[in-house]
Structure 1
Amino acid sequence: MPLQCIATLHQVPPSDWDALLPSPQPFLRHAFLSALEDSGSVGGRTGWQPAHRLWFDEHGQLQAAMPAYVKQHSYGEYVFDHGWADACRRAGIAYYPKLLGAIPFSPVGGARLLGDRQGCASLIEALTTALHEEGLSSLHVNFTQPACDEVLQGRENWLERIGCQYHWSNRGYRDFQDFLDALASRKRKQMRKEREQVAGQGIEFEWLGGHELSEAQWDFVYHCYANTYHVRGQAPYLTRAFFSLLAERMPELIRVVLAHQHGRPVAMAFSLLDGDTLYGRYWGCLAEFDRLHFETCFYQGIAWAIEAGLARFDAGAQGEHKLIRGFEPVITRSWHYLCHPGLREAVADYLQQERIDVLAYAEQAAQHLPYRHD
């Protein structure tokens, strides 16, 4: 069959999978996705069952692929459809299991349909036809980029959903001071004060690559990461083993900033990078320090991105507090194929109004950016 479903990425040679990638983004690499599987962060009882889809041409050559997971819940996706699932429950419609084309726990835009356009279109066509036979209620493709949007745009019964994130763009800054000089006076003073408050607590920062951290330091990184979930009474999505596997398989793409107070580590921020973007992913601290979150997660990342000559800093989903720190509103997209016609019609109506609201919000949010208007 041209369309195949595999339960682990190890059924595809890393070179074959990575050859389909249109960019060096770390989240799509065989090394990243297989580390999620091998560490137990997905699979088992996590509610994320790997079900990657492959499309082969008539010669048996891999032509297209989609990282995909059968989901028994909607946690860890960051495109929130809990309301749709609840409506189905009340109406007696099975919403789970569903199929999700996404990177687990990673609200980062990127390719979701991998390979040439014709192969991707064929994969999607065959997959949507097979959903009902596989006992799946729907197919969701989250945080897409234009190439995927072009394949799904106008396709029958597919619904587009938009959202809003905040990303920082490097406008050719020479250093962090140059960035500050581009801000309105009041905002510039506020950032300086926040950074001085952190320094006044005796906190210093150290940036390390993936190959430079010891296992003891990775223990600290994981302890900080897990603590952000434990304080909310939740279990962390990722296991400790994931971080060691990632450090082993793609250390050159890892950057960790450690915050030290009088020589003792107290907080960290974990990031990944590609050719032009720094992706802030996880953060955590062992005690409360005034303004430490802003410094560790935002200002340190901005300064590092400027020094490295990167074009963008994506510090993660949500967070209106990013606006006044120079992160601009960016529209994100996801696509949804719902098999039940009544559910599809109701969701389509909802998305029409939501789209108007999101676009209006993004336009309004842009008015609160801190940059000077010369």
Structure 2
Amino acid sequence: MISLHPTIAELPATAWDALAGEQPMLRHAFLDALEQSGCVGGDSGWTPCHLALWRDGVLCGAMPLYAKQHSYGEYVFDWAWARAYAEHGLSYYPKLLGAIPFTPLPGPRLLARTDADRQALIRGALDRAAQLDMSSLHLLFGDDADLAACDAVGLIRREQVQFHWQRQAGWQDFDDFLASLSRDKRRKIRQERRKIGEAGVRIERKAGHAIDAGDWAFFLRCYDSTYREHRSTPYLNLDFFLRAHAAQPEAWMMALAYRDDAPIAAALNLVGPARLYGRYWGAQWDAAGWVPGLHFELCYYQGIEHALATGLSVVEGGAQGEHKLARGFSPVMTHSAHWLAHPAFADAVDRFLDRERRLVNAYRDELEAHLPFRLEQNGD
């Protein structure tokens, strides 16, 4: 049996987490914190309608699912599709979205143990999209098993590029990582890090319970200012961060920059058993002003150092950012799957995505030709 649920609190947390796996942002408590804090639901444009698959009263499958009144906070951009609908006198919203709100991290979205149950979930989502007169259904940043289920029921794929740092055999510390880079990239990173110290800035990483209420209050000021500087509205609030941290303290790591013992900038990460997920950054510059390279230090180098120190194998740098390539990150393909109810628009989007996939793959190939790692034959 398939059912829809307006809050994740209606679904058993233990059973959900058993299906969700290792990613902290897929855990019941993380999604519940988004709802309890008002970051989704209400007037946010994200209306929870989570999908559940039951067998003999046992939760056998689940899908984080939302009715959307806009396309903000998704990182798979379909604004042009919405505009085309409007130009033809049609409504693109509401649409149905299988995703983690505000989170462009690849992973499972059809939470189930078997291919058959994953297909049952996506078919259930399609049925609900039709019943609720939704323009479309979208599954964002799914894993291979999700995509196979979506392929089986006729959804069309979309591809994008992210940048991930991936630990190589023999890397024990940051110097090992630097030694793998070409001479000019290695020199540039060392110069960037040296300038941080010369500017009188001290860096500290805090994880788990070591992150306190004062750290969260400072981080939120940084987070808010970043969005305001880009003329955007912050998606998350302090209530969410405090709830999510209390529920999973081990899943959070914050890198903080201090000058004269006063915090001036922060970067926030989520941590899983094998991966660090870079999320947000911001600064509150003091009278001494901007510190060149501090963004790279907090968001990339501190994350890499933490991964090396704690045995993590991957640092996911989040959406976009070619500048990550020069700092040891490599291009990785991410995938989404889409269904549009209107046959003519579905055909047009399918043809567009076919062209876009070829361009994205060519872009990935070009990036791989400029990886920053040294070639042994160059004697570097």
TM class, shorter-length: over 0.9
1:313 has 2:315 as partner: yes
1:106 to 91, 94, 103: 103
Deviation at 1:130, TM superposition (A): 3.2
Paired with 1:29 and 1:213, the residues of 2 have a C-alpha distance of 20
- Which residue identity is paired with 1:17? W
Larger deviation: 297-306 or 125-134?
A: 125-134
Paired with 1:126 and 1:10, the residues of 2 have a C-alpha distance of 20
1:204-223 pair list within 5 angstroms: 204-223=202-221
Deviation at 1:13, TM superposition (A): 1.9
| 3-state secondary structure, aligned to 1:258 | strand
Q: Deviations over 1:115-139 (max 9, x none)?
A: 1322221122232133222121111
| 3-state secondary structure, aligned to 1:306 | helix
Query: Structure 1-normalised TM-score?
Result: 0.97
Aligned to 1:4: 3
Please list every run of 5 or more consecutive structure 1 residues that lacks an aligned counterpart in the other structure.
none
- Which residue identity is paired with 2:112? G
Count residues in correspondence: 370
8 Å CA contact retained: 2:53, 2:62:
yes
| 3-state secondary structure, aligned to 2:318 | coil
Q: Deviations over 1:28-49 (max 9, x none)?
A: 1001100111111111111011
Aligned to 1:196: 194
8 Å CA contact retained: 1:141, 1:335:
yes
Aligned to 2:143: 145
Deviation at 1:230, TM superposition (A): 1.0
8 Å CA contact retained: 2:37, 2:239:
yes
8 Å CA contact retained: 2:123, 2:153:
no
- RMSD across aligned positions (CA): 1.0
| 3-state secondary structure, aligned to 1:80 | coil
Deviation at 1:210, TM superposition (A): 3.0
Deviation at 1:153, TM superposition (A): 1.8
Q: Deviations over 1:183-204 (max 9, x none)?
A: 1111111111111111110111
1:165-244 pair list within 5 angstroms: 165-172=162-169, 173-244=171-242
Larger deviation: 343-352 or 110-119?
A: 110-119
Deviation at 1:109, TM superposition (A): 0.3
Deviation at 1:68, TM superposition (A): 0.7
- Which residue identity is paired with 1:186? D
| 3-state secondary structure, aligned to 1:315 | strand
| 3-state secondary structure, aligned to 1:79 | coil
Aligned to 2:355: 353
- Which residue identity is paired with 1:104? P
Larger deviation: 179-188 or 210-219?
A: 210-219
Paired with 2:321 and 2:230, the residues of 1 have a C-alpha distance of 17
Paired with 2:310 and 2:59, the residues of 1 have a C-alpha distance of 36
Deviation at 1:155, TM superposition (A): 2.3
Runs of 4+ in 1 over 2 A off after TM superposition: none
Percent identity over the alignment is 43
8 Å CA contact retained: 2:331, 2:367:
yes
1:303-342 pair list within 5 angstroms: 303-342=305-344
Query: Structure 2-normalised TM-score?
Result: 0.95
Paired with 1:126 and 1:245, the residues of 2 have a C-alpha distance of 31
| 3-state secondary structure, aligned to 2:156 | strand
Paired with 1:179 and 1:284, the residues of 2 have a C-alpha distance of 26
Larger deviation: 232-241 or 96-105?
A: 232-241
8 Å CA contact retained: 2:162, 2:317:
no
| 3-state secondary structure, aligned to 1:336 | strand
| 3-state secondary structure, aligned to 1:4 | strand
Aligned to 1:14: 13
Aligned to 1:72: 69
Aligned to 2:39: 41
Deviation at 1:3, TM superposition (A): 1.4
- Which residue identity is paired with 2:39? S
8 Å CA contact retained: 1:64, 1:115:
yes
Paired with 1:301 and 1:81, the residues of 2 have a C-alpha distance of 31
Aligned to 1:253: 251
8 Å CA contact retained: 1:210, 1:256:
no
| 3-state secondary structure, aligned to 1:272 | strand
Paired with 1:337 and 1:259, the residues of 2 have a C-alpha distance of 45
Paired with 1:107 and 1:350, the residues of 2 have a C-alpha distance of 22
Paired with 1:230 and 1:330, the residues of 2 have a C-alpha distance of 30
Please list every run of 5 or more consecutive structure 2 residues that lacks an aligned counterpart in the other structure.
none
- Which residue identity is paired with 2:97? L
Paired with 2:140 and 2:231, the residues of 1 have a C-alpha distance of 27
Paired with 2:375 and 2:53, the residues of 1 have a C-alpha distance of 51
Paired with 2:136 and 2:28, the residues of 1 have a C-alpha distance of 25
- Which residue identity is paired with 1:328? S
Paired with 1:209 and 1:231, the residues of 2 have a C-alpha distance of 27
Distance 1:130-1:7 versus aligned 2 partners, 3 A rule: closer
8 Å CA contact retained: 1:325, 1:369:
no
2:88 to 86, 91, 96: 91
Deviation at 1:247, TM superposition (A): 1.5
Paired with 1:66 and 1:292, the residues of 2 have a C-alpha distance of 38
Paired with 1:366 and 1:127, the residues of 2 have a C-alpha distance of 37
Q: Deviations over 1:144-170 (max 9, x none)?
A: 1111112112423x1100000000001
Deviation at 1:214, TM superposition (A): 2.2
Q: Deviations over 1:215-259 (max 9, x none)?
A: 122100111111110112221000110111011100011111111
